[in-house]
Amino acid sequence: MPSLPRRHSLVEETAAVLRQRLEEGEWTAFLPGEMELAALLRVGRNTVRSAIRLLETEGRLRTRNGVRREIITVTGRKPTGRCAILLLARPENEYPPSTSAWITETRARLENLGWSLRILVEPGAYRSKPSRLLRSLTSGLSGTVWILHRSTPLMQQWFQDQHLPTVLAGSRHEGIHLPQVEVDLRAVSRHAAGRFVARGHQALAVLRPEGPFAGDAECLAAFQEGARGASVSDLRFRGGTTGVVETLHRTMARGDFPTGLYILHAEAFATALTLLQHEGVRIPGQVSLVCREDEPYLAVLHPEPSRYQHSPRVFAARLASLVVRPDLARSRSGPSSLVMPRAVEGATLAAPPIPERNR
């Protein structure tokens, strides 16, 4: 009796996909992490782990230092040119659309130059003691250029001390001289403060998350400079939506809510706008809002946010040009490439309300 076709398990199918991509040379030296692979292949992390075990039994992979899966045998096409590795704290699909846009554009530009771009998701690199992990990740990858996204002071210091070819996709921390590509945060924040002051606002605040984000602290200082004597409060929140809500409720309860609110991140802006409207606050009749960032979903909010818009294509072009610089590894004081965004007028910025005593 002829045998019936077997239905392959999801683990076997996942292993087949990984096997094919290895043979095509999509990855070099190390396999991406389990979280990244699970997001890429749209399967569970346990499925990825079981598929990797199959490839290890075939001699294609081996676990190195209990951290990374090293690629042992890859047949077929080998990648040409040089490689850049983008280090992320979480899978790409968990980042805002604008981040995914410049990553996609950077990959395309590097490929046109004969390079490859690989994404490495390593939350451990962003923790308090990353040295051991970073040493393991970078071992044996001479010639690779590392791209650090929203990196911590310890990460930047470690790469700088090791003299590894590194480019920052984001702001430098104090004492760091690595090459960077960033939006001109100082110029944007000074300009935003000027927009408020020109309309007569004297009670302003900056809403920003707690955390080691060098660019956010720089924005506060620049906004204070541009405020020209207007009072500026520093409103910090911890976490995501819940933190924004708690901070704004706490500020409203004090009775000294600012008439102008400069919000550094798009998600926090959307939360603040909807919360204030839910509380009966007229935007911009009672409180004006300006967002430092732009994301596609902001354009469909009502009223349309006043914000700053930069081109992911320009950001990617600047990033790719730094990555391929032949003197990158020898540089001790890297260049700073700043992208100037465009101010979007929007409809959340207006003159402050007239105090009742002046009516």
Structure tokens at 224: 């204070």
Q: What are phi and psi of 86, to 5 degrees?
A: -95, 120
Quick one: which of 171, 161, 98 has its CA closest to 336? 171
Nearest CA among 354, 352, 345 for reference residue 197: 352
Residue 236 lies in a domain: yes
| Over residues 173-184, mean pLDDT | 94
Structure tokens at 17: 């996909």
Task: Please give the helix or strand (H or E) that residue 203 lies within, else none.
Answer: strand 203-209
Any domain includes 88: no
Whether residue 128 is contained in a domain is answered as no
Mean pLDDT for the chain overall: 88
The per-residue pLDDT for 4 is 39
- Kindly state the percentage of the chain with pLDDT values over 70: 90
CA distances from 353 to 274, 303, 358 (A): 20, 17, 10
CA atoms within 13 A on the CB side of 166: 24
Residue 80 has pLDDT above 70, yes or no: no
Which residues have CB under 8 Å from 270's CB, separation 6+? 297, 298, 301
User: Which domain CATH number covers 50?
Assistant: 1.10.10.10
Rg (CA), the chain: 24
d(CA 340, CA 320): 17
Count Cβ neighbours within 10 Å for each residue of 259-282 and write b for 16 or more, e otherwise. bbbbbbbbbbbbbbbebbeeeebe
CA terminus-to-terminus distance, the chain: 96
Residue 242 has φ and ψ, to the nearest 5°, of -60, -40
The reported pLDDT for the residue numbered 75 is: 45
Whether the link from the prior residue into 296 is cis, omega within 30° of 0, is no
The answer to the question of residue 198 being in a domain is yes
Residue 76 confidence (pLDDT) above 50: no
Q: Which helix (H) or strand (E) holds 93?
A: none
Spatial separation of the C-alpha atoms in residues 163 and 145, rounded to whole Å: 11
Examine the pLDDT at 206 and tell me if it is beyond 50: yes
Q: What is the pLDDT of residue 6?
A: 43
Which pTM value belongs to this model?
0.76
Confidence at residue 24, expressed as pLDDT on a 0 to 100 scale: 65
CA dist., res. 141 & res. 156, Å (int): 18
Query: Is residue 22 very low, low, confident or very high in pLDDT (cuts 50, 70, 90)?
Result: confident
- Convert the pLDDT of each residue in 87-104 to its tens digit: 999 988 899 999 999 999
Q: What is the pLDDT of residues 325-349, one digit of tens each?
A: 877 765 556 788 999 999 999 999 9
Find the mean pLDDT for residues 120-131.
Answer: 92
Give residue 46's domain range: 9-79
Average pLDDT over residues 202-218: 90
CATH number at residue 285: 3.40.50.2300
Task: Give the Cβ contact number of residue 195 at 10 Å.
Answer: 18
Using pLDDT thresholds of 50, 70 and 90, give the confidence band for residue 79: very low
**Torsion angle of alpha carbons 151, 156, 158, 162, nearest 10°?**
130
Q: How confident is the model at residue 81 (pLDDT cuts 50, 70, 90)?
A: low
Number of domains in the chain: 2
Domain boundary residue among 52, 79, 106? 79
| Residue where one domain finishes, among candidates 79, 105, 133 | 79
Whether 151 maps to a domain, the answer reads: no
Residue 93: per-residue pLDDT: 87
Q: What is the secondary structure of 320-346 as a DSSP string?
A: HHHHT-TTTTT-SS--EEEE--EEE--
The lowest-confidence range among 29-38, 94-103, 155-164 is 29-38
pLDDT of residue 270: 98
With contact defined as beta carbons under 8 Å apart, do 120 and 87 qualify?
Answer: yes
Final residue belonging to a domain, choices 58, 79, 100: 79
Same domain? 53 vs 192: no
Q: Does 216 fall in a domain?
A: yes
Q: Please give the torsion angle defined by the CA atoms of residues 133, 137, 142 and 147, in that order, rounded to the nearest 10 degrees.
A: -100
Q: What is the mean pLDDT of residues 134-152?
A: 90
Return the amino acid letter for 304: E
Higher pLDDT pick, 129 / 357 = 129
Q: Are residues 350 and 234 in the same domain?
A: yes
Q: What is the mean pLDDT of residues 231-250?
A: 96
> Of 49 and 288, which is predicted with more confidence?
288
State residue 321's pLDDT score.
92
Q: What is the mean pLDDT of residues 247-271?
A: 96
Residue 236 has pLDDT above 80, yes or no: yes
Q: Alpha-carbon distance 312 to 172, whole Å?
A: 19
